[in-house]
Amino acid sequence: MGYTDVIEDTFSSSIYSSRLSLIVGEVMSASFKQISGGEARTLGNIDVHIRKIIELAQEYEENCSDLDLDRNKTIKSTTTTTEHPRSRPDMTIYYKNVLFMMGEEKDLDGRLEAAEKQLDGYFDFWNPLAFGKLPFVMAFVAAGIKLQFYYYYSNNNNVPVRVRIGNTINLGTTNRMNNFKALQHTINAIRIIRTWDLKQYIRRPEIKLYEVIQRRNGTTVTINPKKVIKKLHIEKREPAYKTFLKFFYENIFPKLDNYKLLESKYHARWIYLEFAPLRYAIWSVFKSVMILHANEIVHRDIRWENVMRLTDNSWVLIDFEEAAPIGRGNRSTPILNIAAPEYRGMESDPCRAAGDIWMIGNLLNDLRILQIQLSARARNFRDRLTQQNHDERPSAADAIDDDWFSDM
């Protein structure tokens, strides 16, 4: 049994009813005129018809504090497209971190079909890590005076299929029934997601689709259905660093394994469960480092936070912002708690390959790893990698042939 049409509770009834009346009055009296280049006007119109109802439910409705609404960016009044049009939808609405509605906004009604295709482009894969038992995901397109609702369901190949809900709503007329239909669709969406929660279809997902994670130095990571988009902001970095990064991502990065969707950002929790995954993770790091060193590149930031377990249970080394050419001693010293001993107290990093080798050995000294009873071969291997004299450490190619990996 689902929820009834009454969406208020006794605790918040007086406050909620008053605000609901104000918002419904604003929705029913709203009129809208589209103009070329006026995507910001469309945004404002959608804020009246959808966002305010969502925010009201967030504040007062039982269990709806788990609702979360996010916008891609603030759209300037002179723009017709979003700043990053292929990264994520203009609006995303979540319940317990599960995406249950998304929307795309355009300035003119003639661009409705283009907005539909753009939504399809964003949402090109039904990822089980994000949705669990969710039957479908709702969506809308606001193109000028036109508002159209949809739902997406997954076909047998995990490809989302878009289906229209009802007819297109025209918000540019004096017919207030259209305003009411927009309000009705939004309230129904809230009722649907609460019913799904009641039926235990909702599980907090391993990944939150279209979430933008802010990293240091202005770097952003956006989680999309099939890929992770990482954007580096290097406008203010020195010219030599820009040149190096361009070379690295065009020539070296394609030789490494591609990014894939992860089961969790807390990837280190798998490492200490069993011995075999730990050894496979270290071996995989060496495979990546071998490629880097063969191309005269050092990683400089090897730690468990940058070793990812993928959905196929393989491992990959990521995050190359600190990478540098071997022998170029013009970079700042790596983070001290992971840096090789010879770096400590130095103002610049000599960028030796041996520094990466020490960091890999230091992975086996992590407190989370010490819960494992390392074998004698594993301990000997670790000690080889972390020798104080950097000239006595093995190369990546030599290390990967160590006895510790002999029966893999």
Retrieve residue 123's tokens: 């949402």
Cβ burial, residue 374 (10 Å; 0-12/13-18/19+): middle
CB contact at 8 A, 226 and 237:
no
Residue 74 binned pLDDT confidence (cut-offs 50, 70, 90): very low
Does pLDDT of 229 surpass 90? no
Question: In the CATH hierarchy, which top-level class contains the domain 235-405?
Answer: mainly alpha
Partnered with residue 143 across adjacent β-strands are 106, 146
pLDDT at 294: 94
Mean pLDDT computed over every residue of the chain: 81
Residue 261 binned pLDDT confidence (cut-offs 50, 70, 90): very low
Query: Per CATH, which fold does 13-198 belong to?
Result: tt1808, chain A (3.90.1570)
Alpha-carbon span 114 to 130, nearest angstrom: 26
Secondary structure class of 317 (helix, strand, coil)? strand
Does pLDDT of 345 surpass 90? no
Does pLDDT of 119 surpass 90? yes
Q: What is the mean pLDDT of residues 164-188?
A: 91
Alpha-carbon span 326 to 324, nearest angstrom: 6
Residue 298 binned pLDDT confidence (cut-offs 50, 70, 90): very high
- Terminal-residue alpha carbon distance, the chain: 53
Secondary structure class of 113 (helix, strand, coil)? helix
pLDDT at 8: 44
Chain CA centroid to CA 3, Å? 32
Does pLDDT of 272 surpass 80? no
pLDDT at 348: 65
Q: What is the mean pLDDT of residues 216-242?
A: 77
Does pLDDT of 295 surpass 70? yes
Residue 368 binned pLDDT confidence (cut-offs 50, 70, 90): confident
Retrieve residue 400's tokens: 């990967």
Chain CA centroid to CA 269, Å? 19
Domain residue extents for the chain? 13-198, 235-405
Nearest residue to 85 via CA among 104, 113, 100: 104
- Find the range with the poorest average confidence among 280-289, 310-319, 389-398: 310-319
Does pLDDT of 83 surpass 50? no
